[in-house]
Chain A
Amino acid sequence: MKVRSKVINWIYSLIPDNLILMLILGKNETLPKFFVSSMDILTAKKKIIGSILTGLILCSALNLLLKKFSVLSILLALLFVIVSIFVLMNHIHSTIASRYKKFDEMVFILINSLSIGVLIHQSLFYSIDLLLKNSFVKTEYDIFLGEIIANANLGEDENLLLQKSSKKFFTEEYRKALEHLSNGRYIKSNPRFLARIKREISTVEDNIVIFIAVSCLFPLALSMIIPLVIDSNSLSLFLFPLIFGLFGSLFLRFIQGKSGGRIEV
């Protein structure tokens, strides 16, 4: 068992973490790295290795079926691996995005309770400690608070620390409120949240139109053209679903980027 787990760990260590972070978060890094847990990276690695293995199996199966070595089968397998990695990473991205959104939705309760704590006890770290000590349930907010306390114990400045940790919030109002916590600021209302919800509701209608175009018209148009251009007995016909997979996952990412993560029901 030990040898096996060592081998598996060695295989996992072959894939660098930074590459996976880049694949999950995208180029712009709209999500902070705080929300990517080590479990997410591990599942991403598992999925990448799984898709590469399936690609290899696909390649060898095609070669066996054709009874000769062809470059096309390698190309097809490569495309399959790329598409499947793209689709699977997109799934992980959307779960992280929805986790982030849920964190941000209720963070005003945390800010207000900290402001009450500062008001009563006149000390930020004491009130954070009070919250941490008495809560049974470990949530993401506790990890967030624990990070602040850990950095404070290392001797960082209070205002600088708040400024740094406020960057984890999505909403501008919450960021400012946390930065000026010691001045007695707290969140009285959040019109931005209501506006965001309204915008999301209107984008839902939009999404359907986009996806009808992609899911119904794209295969229809391609199916008219492709059989007339490519021989129906050649394997290059499988390019068609692969192109569709690439386009579909791109559109999905575009839609989810617009509405800020997966649409939760």
Chain B
Amino acid sequence: MVVELRYKLLSSDEDFLYDIIEYLENGENLERSLILTKSVPIEIKLELQLGMSFEKVISLIKFNYPISMNLLLSLAFNSNEEAIRRIKSTADIIKKQQEALEEKRVLLLVHKRRIKIIRLISTLVIGTLAGFSPITTSFYQLINNYTSTLKFEYFSILSFSFLFVNILNNYFLMELANEDFKCRKLSFALILHLLCVVFITLLLRHIVSF
């Protein structure tokens, strides 16, 4: 296995590009502007001074977006004013996109928190419904047979069907919020549901025994 030795940039992609453009506009060539910038780690500069070609040195850098490398690679051998202008406008676009994405990221974090709360509450609500299933069962018997017997069993088919609904609901909400560790959170929801059912059945038994 070949171990890839790659060095991270010390600043963001667009800042690095702005630095390079500035030096290129002042009349330096590509290699020299790479040495002059402060956003490149010292190892890269050493490799360049030891005689590695510019293209290879560029591919040693680990960009935030791997595709940013292409922009500098296309400048290989020579550059002119028009090319520099194009790189500048590209860096501008990257910056604007970054700002928009950052705004979206902050909003989505709030969204994730909201969905987390909805998930918890709906888990509890469905668990409670499942806990009250003996009462709805007796209602069915009352309507059909005009008699009913209240039996507080912990688990019935109705409460199991609610369990499936709960797990599916949790899964959908997690998919919507794009969360990690889905299995772990699903098992947590399962335990919460079972606890809910047992607690409410115990409560009902206690009330009826009085």
Contacts and interface: CB of A to CB of B under 8 A. Distances in A.
Interface of A: 87, 91, 94, 105-110, 112-117, 119-121, 127, 130-131, 133-137, 139, 141, 186-190, 193-194, 197-198, 200-201, 204, 207-208, 211-212, 214-216, 219-220, 223, 227-228, 230-235, 237-238, 240-241, 244-245, 248-249, 251-252, 255, 262-265
Contacts of A207: 176
Interface string B171-208: 11101111000000000000000000000000000000
B10 interface: no
Interface of B: 4, 6, 55-56, 58-60, 65-71, 73-80, 82-83, 86-87, 89-90, 92-94, 96-97, 100-101, 103-105, 107-109, 111-112, 114-115, 118, 121-122, 125-126, 129, 133, 136-137, 139-140, 143, 156-158, 160-162, 164-165, 168-169, 171-173, 175-178
B100 A197 contact: yes
Chain B interface, >50% SS class:
helix
Contacts of B108: 204, 263-265
B71 A262 contact: no
Chain A interface, >50% SS class:
helix
B105 to A, nearest CB: 7
A265 B79 contact: no
Nearest to A186: B86
Contacts of B77: 120-121
B136 A130 contact: no
Given A113-B70, A208-B111, A227-B140, A219 B169 contact: yes
A244 B71 contact: no
B86 A115 contact: yes
Contacts of B171: 87
Given A241-B164, A244-B168, A231 B140 contact: yes
Q: Which of A119, A127, A136 has the most CB of B within 10 A?
A: A136
Contacts of A220: 125, 129
B5 to A, nearest CB: 10
